[in-house]
Each structure stands twice: as structure tokens, then as C-alpha cells.
């Protein structure tokens, strides 16, 4: 079956005007096809034909256009990004529109610079709800354009979530990665490429970990020698962590405790080059970091967390207060002597 159809193939139905994408296979020559609006159908393999294979998609092959093309205005072909990624990994690139780096549409290209194959799906996340927007299957050193959005559309998303399965000759791994969407700016992250590709923004999806067998013997000895590695000798104070936890609980009981965590939301501490972003984009990045750190605090059962948002025009603080009210969490101005007037303390307990 897989010799005729592959997951990710674009297919069309023979007896009706309907297109779809192959999601999987069942017994008796049944192919699982996703059609419009996300519905799936079980169809016989003889009822569909391949319009565009997953391999053609991965290599960026597009249907032939019979219309004449003005070669003087045609854009240069998408370069091979895999050779320009320093650390071998799988990355999702945000590529801006030609001549509209800060305002135009953004194209997202998945690049597999590893030695194996990666398959999976990409979702948009809005208010903890996921909607699938693309599936992919890439062999080594392949890349594929997954989707394209305007900046206005992207600002309505909280993040992207990529679920994947990676395999090569030595290992098999699966997982999921949530990505805070960053927009391309005027910083050339790929200076060897021409515009607009030199401004592409990179989001790492998967990277193989180096095994300990790759370390030199001397480094392995140092790593596992208890006399040279202080982390391996922790028996001298077995109750230290427990005692600190008990002390912290007692202090919090009588209102004498400090906070469990302090999060700086100043944009300079979150991204390296904020100059290339609009004000609305900067606030969105700050809010995404606020949500992420608040989630971590609640999962870790912290009791208090302070967010340093500064004063500014007050839009970030108003957005934070609005979300805290929606979550029905208690909050108050943080200690003025420590944080000034630009901080809010959230009471989770």
C-alpha cells in the first residue's frame, strides 16, 4: 500500500470533485484521507489518484503554471537552508515576504538537517485549543513549506505546537514542542543568503542529544569521579532540601516568606533585538512569556510569583490584570521597596 500512496500525498477523487491528503492506511486497500474542514474518510485506493506526492512537497515542487512568467520580476528560488543551520537539528523557519520584511505575510518552512526522517503535524494554539494546520514527512536534508499567514492572523495565535516522530538507523524518538511565534526583523540571521531569506527567524523543533560515548575517556572519568564532581557527592546533607522546604512553608504560613519566583517581563530580557518589532508584537511576546511562567508556577504548586512589567503606557499591566481576573487568581502590587511600582504579585495558593 505505501508503495502506491504515502502519508502526506495530495490526492483527488476519481468519481467526484473532491481533494484531500493521505493520513494513513487500513486493511483491504483502505486509505484514510482528510478532506475539507478536517473531516476524514476511508476510501478504496482505486477511488483516488495522487496529485502531488509528499516527496514533491518536501522538495518544494509546485504544479506547472501554463501562464507566461516575467523572469525579470520572478523571485529567486528558496535556498537550501539545511546547509546554513549551524547545529544539526530540525527547525521551523519564519520567512518574511519580499520587500515587506516588517509588514508582509510570513511563510513557515520546516527544515530537516538531521540524518534521519521526521514525520508529524503542526497545530495553531488559541486559548488552550489546538487546530491542525499542516502535516509533514521529511527525509534528511529536506525542507517543506508548511503554511503562510499574515501578521494579523499570527497575532491571534498563542503559539504553534509541533508533534513529531523522528527515526534514523540508531534511534527512535517522539515528542511535542510548543513554539512562541517570533517575527522576522531587520537582523540578518542568515547573512550568506539574499533577501528576504537572510531575515528568516529560526525556531528549533528537535535536536539529537550527544551520547556520553562521544566524550573523550578523560572527560568521562572526571564526570563520574566523586572526588572531582561535587554534584555526585550529595550524601553529606541529605535533609537540606527537606529542611528548606519546611522552613519556607512555615514562613509563608505567617506571611513572612518572600516569593517563590520572580519573572522579568521587560522586553530586553526576552529577545535580543527588539528594534525590529512593532509595539503590538512586543506586547504579544511579553504576554506569551507571562502565560508560560504562570503555567509553570501553577504546575509546580508555587504559592506566589512576581511579574516585573514596568510602568510604560500601562497596556502590558492591563492585559496581565485582565487575564488574572479571567483565571480568578488573586493579585496585588508587589513589595514597593523591592520592585518599585512596576510589578504585580500573583497569589496562587
- For the chain, the domains span 10-57, 85-206, 235-347
Q: Is the dihedral of CA 132, 133, 139, 141 positive or negative?
A: negative
Which pLDDT score is estimated for 225?
57
| Cα–Cα dist 130/189, whole Å | 30
CATH of domain 235-347: 3.30.1370.110
* Mean pLDDT within 302-317: 88
| Cα–Cα dist 214/212, whole Å | 5
- Least confident window among 159-163, 205-209, 228-232, 319-323: 228-232
CATH value of 85-206 in 3.40.50.150, 3.40.50.11540, 2.40.50.140, 2.60.40.1600 = 2.60.40.1600
Helices (H), 71-210: 151-154
Do the first three CATH levels of 85-206 and 235-347 match, i.e. the same topology?
Answer: no
Can you tell me whether residue 196 is helix, strand or coil?
Answer: coil
Give per-residue pLDDT as tens, 236-271.
Answer: 444 455 555 554 555 444 444 455 788 999 998 898
| Cα–Cα dist 327/274, whole Å | 29
Angle at 293 between CA 132 and CA 105, to 5 degrees: 40
Which pLDDT score is estimated for 339?
79
Maximum average pLDDT range among 27-41, 220-234, 240-254, 294-308: 294-308
Which pLDDT score is estimated for 161?
92
Q: How far is CA 317 from CA 263, 284, 287, 323, 346, in A?
A: 14, 12, 10, 10, 13
More confident residue, 128 or 221: 128
Q: What's the half-sphere exposure (Cβ side, CA atoms, 13 Å) at 202?
A: 21
Give per-residue pLDDT as tens, 94-140.
Answer: 999 887 888 889 999 999 988 889 999 999 998 888 899 999 999 98
Are β-strands 304-308 and 261-264 bridged in parallel, bridged antiparallel, or unpaired?
A: parallel
Which pLDDT score is estimated for 76?
57
List CB contacts of 148: < 8 A, sequence separation 6 or more. Answer: 105, 106, 107, 108
Q: What is the CA radius of gyration of the chain?
A: 25
Amino acid at each position: 500500500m505505501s508503495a502506491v500512496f504515502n502519508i502526506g500525498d495530495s490526492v483527488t477523487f476519481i468519481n467526484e470533485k473532491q481533494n484531500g491528503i493521505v493520513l494513513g492506511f487500513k486493511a483491504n486497500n483502505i486509505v484514510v484521507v482528510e478532506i475539507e474542514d478536517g473531516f476524514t474518510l476511508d476510501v478504496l485506493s482505486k477511488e483516488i489518484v495522487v496529485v502531488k506526492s509528499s516527496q514533491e512537497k518536501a522538495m518544494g515542487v509546485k504544479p506547472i503554471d501554463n501562464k507566461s512568467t516575467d523572469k525579470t520580476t520572478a523571485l529567486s528560488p528558496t535556498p537550501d537552508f539545511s546547509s546554513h543551520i549551524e547545529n544539526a537539528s530540525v527547525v521551523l523557519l519564519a520567512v518574511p515576504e519580499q520587500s515587506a520584511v516588517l509588514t508582509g505575510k510570513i511563510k513557515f518552512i520546516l527544515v530537516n538537517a538531521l540524518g534521519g526522517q521526521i514525520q508529524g503535524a503542526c497545530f495553531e494554539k488559541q486559548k488552550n485549543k489546538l487546530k491542525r494546520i499542516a502535516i509533514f514527512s521529511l527525509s534528511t536534508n529536506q525542507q517543506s513549506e508548511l503554511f503562510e499567514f499574515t501578521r494579523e492572523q499570527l497575532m491571534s495565535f498563542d503559539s504553534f505546537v509541533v508533534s513529531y516522530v523522528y527515526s534514523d538507523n540508531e534511534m527512535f524518538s517522539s515528542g511535542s514542542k510548543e513554539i512562541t511565534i517570533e517575527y522576522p526583523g531587520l537582523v540578518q540571521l542568515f547573512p550568506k543568503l539574499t533577501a528576504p531569506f537572510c531575515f528568516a527567524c529560526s525556531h528549533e523543533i528537535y535536536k539529537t542529544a550527544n551520547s556520553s560515548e562521544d566524550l573523550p575517556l578523560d572527560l568521562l572519568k572526571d564526570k563520574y569521579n566523586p572526588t572531582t564532581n561535587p554534584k555526585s557527592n550529595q550524601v553529606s546533607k541529605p535533609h537540606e532540601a527537606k529542611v528548606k522546604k519546611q522552613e519556607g512553608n512555615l514562613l509563608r504560613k505567617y506571611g513572612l516568606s518572600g516569593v517563590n519566583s520572580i519573572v522579568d517581563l521587560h522586553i530586553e530580557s526576552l529577545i535580543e533585538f527588539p528594534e525590529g518589532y512593532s509595539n503590538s508584537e512586543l506586547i504579544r511576546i511579553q504576554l506569551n512569556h507571562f502565560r508560560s511562567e504562570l503555567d509553570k508556577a501553577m504546575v509546580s504548586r508555587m504559592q506566589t510569583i512576581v511579574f516585573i512589567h514596568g510602568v510604560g503606557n500601562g497596556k502590558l499591566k492591563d492585559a496581565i490584570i485582565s487575564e488574572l481576573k479571567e483565571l480568578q487568581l488573586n493579585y496585588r502590587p508587589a513589595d514597593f521597596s523591592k520592585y518599585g511600582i512596576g510589578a504585580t504579585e500573583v497569589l496562587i495558593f
